[in-house]
């Protein structure tokens, strides 16, 4: 267990993965003093390339997997990279892996599967590797090409370690080259177990007919958020929210969700019209969240995970 980026005030002994590249420096307010990475295809109003702070996320991630392969591979059968604003449910993840009948001795790369053109990849919100994938990926990452300098001059869509690279698409390309494909984490009903938006928003997303909205591209119409046995919620940056979720979902004596419940028929009416709008607004999202989280709580209790 370690942080890829050093954390302010962290305890001694925290693992810091050695990096070749460094984040562009910031001032005391966190404002970048330097912007050395080109922001994809984004341009300024005058037509010049838009540059952003370089954080070199891909190097941090692949070097972390190599570190695990060389030092911690024996400690577990399954390994996860999480964003620091992701709430993880290890109990439900363990249950999913048991029910999936996957073996850690086989290559598996899994999470919330997204689509970018013809490429599929796993969202960086939560990326899972089997022990075998850790081994094979580390070998691949150590033999990648390395590129330095202005990313606007690089050819993209390759398995390569380059300045300013992000994680998801490059990772999927590297693993694809060793025949490891992205696998989705859904329940038996086709509901997503990983929510990319906060729950009140995720509950409102639906596929609009005739569109290739990025969240839904390439998916079956029945695949909607959210499973009542989630493995990850995102993005929740305030630590108080983590405590709130823990209390509302795991504390047997907490009645907040039940006290907030409204007529279930109202929620069911919201769900009956998924094709009309991409997002259903107003108070429906909040009501749907209470309704959904209560079901999550009941499932945790039924599976013996309640404290």
Task: Please report the beta strands in 72-220, taking only residues with DSSP state E, as ranges in sequence order.
Answer: 78-82, 87-88, 109-116, 119-130, 145-147, 160-162, 182-184, 194-195
Lowest mean pLDDT among 70-84, 109-123, 219-233, 275-289: 275-289
Q: Which two tokens stand for residue 59?
A: 């190097």
Number of residues that this document lists for the chain:
307
pTM of the model: 0.84
Q: What percent of the chain has pLDDT over 90?
A: 42
Residue 243 has pLDDT above 70, yes or no: yes
Tokens of 86: 């992701």
Does residue 180 contact residue 136 with C-beta atoms inside 8 Å?
A: yes
Residues above pLDDT 70, as percent of the chain: 79
- Tens of pLDDT along 177-201? 999 999 999 998 888 899 988 887 7
pLDDT of residue 9: 57
Q: Quick one: how far is CA 224 from the chain centroid?
A: 16
Q: Are strands 160-162 and 145-147 parallel, antiparallel or unpaired?
A: parallel
Peptide bond into 226 cis (omega under 30): yes
Tokens at residue 188, please?
């038996």
Residue (of 194, 238, 171, 3) closest to 88 by Cα position: 194
Question: Residue 85 corresponds to which tokens in the numbers above?
Answer: 């604003």
Are 85 and 237 a contacting pair, CB within 8 Å? yes
Task: Please report, for residues 247, 254, 301, 305, the alpha-carbon distance to residue 294 in angstroms, rounded to integers and kept in the order given.
Answer: 12, 11, 11, 14
Query: Mean pLDDT over residues 276-305, rounded?
Result: 73
* Interatomic CA distance for residues 196 and 165, integer angstroms: 21
Strand partners, 52: 37
CB 11 within 8 A of CB 5: no
Average pLDDT across the chain, whole number:
82
Residue 276 confidence (pLDDT):
44
Cβ atoms of 80 and 68 within 8 Å: the answer is no
> Residue 185, class by beta-carbon neighbours within 10 Å (0-12 exposed, 13-18 middle, 19+ buried)?
buried
């Amino acid at each position: 267990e370690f942080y890829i980026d050093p954390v302010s005030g962290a305890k001694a002994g925290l693992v810091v993965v050695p990096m070749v590249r460094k984040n562009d420096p910031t001032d005391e307010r966190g404002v970048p003093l330097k912007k050395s990475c080109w922001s994809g295809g984004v341009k300024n109003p005058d037509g010049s390339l838009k540059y952003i702070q370089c954080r070199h996320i891909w190097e941090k991630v692949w070097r972390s997997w190599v570190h695990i392969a060389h030092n911690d591979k024996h400690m577990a059968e399954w390994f996860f990279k999480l964003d620091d604003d992701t709430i993880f449910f290890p109990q439900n993840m363990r249950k999913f892996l048991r029910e999936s009948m996957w073996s850690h001795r086989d290559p598996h790369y899994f999470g919330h599967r997204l689509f970018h053109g013809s490429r599929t990849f796993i969202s960086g919100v939560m990326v899972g590797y089997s022990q075998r994938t850790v081994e094979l990926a580390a070998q691949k990452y150590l033999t990648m090409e390395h590129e330095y300098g202005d990313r606007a001059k690089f050819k993209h869509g390759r398995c390569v370690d380059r300045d300013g690279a992000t994680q998801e698409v490059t990772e999927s390309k590297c693993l694809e080259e060793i025949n490891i494909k992205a696998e989705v984490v859904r329940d038996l009903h086709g509901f997503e177990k990983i929510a990319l938006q906060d729950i009140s928003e995720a509950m409102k997303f639906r596929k609009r007919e005739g569109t290739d909205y990025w969240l839904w591209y390439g998916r079956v119409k029945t695949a909607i958020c959210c499973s009542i046995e989630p493995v990850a919620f995102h993005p929740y940056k305030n630590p108080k929210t983590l405590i709130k979720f823990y209390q509302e979902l795991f504390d047997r004596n907490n009645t907040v969700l039940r006290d907030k419940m409204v007529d279930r028929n109202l929620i069911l009416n919201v769900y009956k019209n998924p094709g009309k709008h991409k997002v259903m607004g107003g108070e429906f999202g909040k009501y749907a969240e209470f309704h959904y989280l209560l079901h999550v709580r009941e499932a945790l209790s039924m599976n013996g995970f309640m404290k």
